[in-house]
């Protein structure tokens, strides 16, 4: 495999559509995707920028959370990941990758739609890692609906609880324990700024994540803790073929980016590492876009 850090044409660095049909039921399994996403399993190289740090990442079994977990471990951090019990096959792979770096790994299976579990997972991470100084609130639900009439109350409730309520519950539980120098990172989306008509509830939550994090950043900086947002565009993750997009859109996913392809999760990992690290010591309440040229405005 070509070293991803070698200078090369970014348009051809990773696979481009059309992709084969690959529908899955939610939440989906990475191992069934083709081509498989690059989360950095073989391509991310660390440099010790998070040595001795302790990270909690929700949705750490796949996609963006998985890429962040791998990168954090290779940068020297111990890492706890939360995930749905159905996602355990993917989570096991991540745990093994973290441990392969000589770092402590903690698996936290459960459903973040449950407030009690959100508070419990923070408590377990604090106890078993010996603290938390990087908090990545990333787990997300995305299920397309072609018309507003098809977005049921159950849909709306599940999306808001996964994407927004859990953000609040986890941040609230973790806040008293975050030391000065800690970093909170949330995952929004280009959907916060350029919402797709088939993602009404998802786009609503992503806009809410931006607003919530910006407000939270103003509070947390008073105790020396920074909070920032990453807003990705089209990234090749299991969220897409497991109901996040119609089959036809999955086939051509990322084609309309400036690169003619979707991003790979590993391409986001350095942003999460930067925001978690002391190199971002003067960065707070910011939104970092990685949208394939679409912008976040």
End-to-end C-alpha distance for the chain, whole angstroms: 36
Asked if residues 39 and 61 have their Cβ atoms less than 8 Å apart, the reply is no
- Chain Cα centroid distance, residue 47: 21
Cα separation, 148 vs 158, whole angstroms: 16
Which residues lie below 8 Å from residue 153, measured CB to CB, with a gap of 6+? Answer: none
Which residues lie below 8 Å from residue 12, measured CB to CB, with a gap of 6+? Answer: none
Cα separation, 5 vs 29, whole angstroms: 28
Q: Identify whether 14 is a catalytic site residue.
A: no
Residue 215 is encoded by which pair of tokens? 């407000």
- Chain Cα centroid distance, residue 89: 18
Q: List the catalytic residue out of 14, 202, 272, 288.
A: 202
Which residues lie below 8 Å from residue 219, measured CB to CB, with a gap of 6+? Answer: none
> What residues are annotated to the active site?
202
């Amino acid at each position: 495999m070509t070293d991803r850090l070698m200078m090369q044409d970014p348009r051809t660095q990773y696979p481009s559509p059309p992709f084969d049909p690959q529908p899955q039921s939610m939440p989906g399994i990475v191992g069934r995707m083709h081509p498989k996403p690059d989360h950095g399993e073989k391509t991310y190289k660390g440099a010790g920028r998070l040595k001795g740090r302790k990270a909690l990442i929700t949705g750490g079994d796949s996609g963006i959370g998985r890429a962040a977990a791998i990168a954090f471990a290779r940068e020297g951090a111990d890492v706890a990941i939360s995930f749905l019990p159905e996602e355990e096959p993917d989570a096991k792979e991540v745990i093994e990758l973290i441990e392969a770096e000589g770092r402590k790994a903690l698996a936290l299976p459960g459903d973040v739609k449950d407030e009690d579990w959100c508070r419990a997972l923070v408590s377990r991470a604090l106890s078993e890692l010996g603290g938390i100084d990087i908090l990545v609130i990333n787990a997300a639900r995305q299920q397309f609906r072609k018309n507003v009439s098809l977005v049921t109350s159950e849909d709306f409730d599940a999306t808001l609880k996964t994407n927004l309520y859990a953000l609040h519950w986890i941040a609230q539980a973790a806040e008293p324990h975050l030391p000065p120098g800690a970093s909170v990172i949330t995952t929004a989306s280009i959907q916060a700024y350029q919402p797709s008509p088939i993602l009404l509830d998802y786009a609503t939550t992503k806009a809410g994540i931006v607003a919530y994090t910006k407000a939270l950043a103003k509070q947390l900086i008073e105790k020396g803790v920074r909070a920032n947002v990453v807003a990705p565009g089209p990234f090749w993750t299991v969220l897409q073929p497991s109901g996040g997009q119609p089959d036809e859109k999955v086939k051509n996913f990322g084609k309309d980016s400036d690169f003619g392809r979707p991003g790979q999760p590993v391409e986001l990992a350095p942003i999460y590492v930067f925001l978690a690290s002391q190199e971002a010591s003067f960065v707070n309440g910011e939104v970092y876009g990685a949208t394939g040229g679409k912008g976040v405005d």
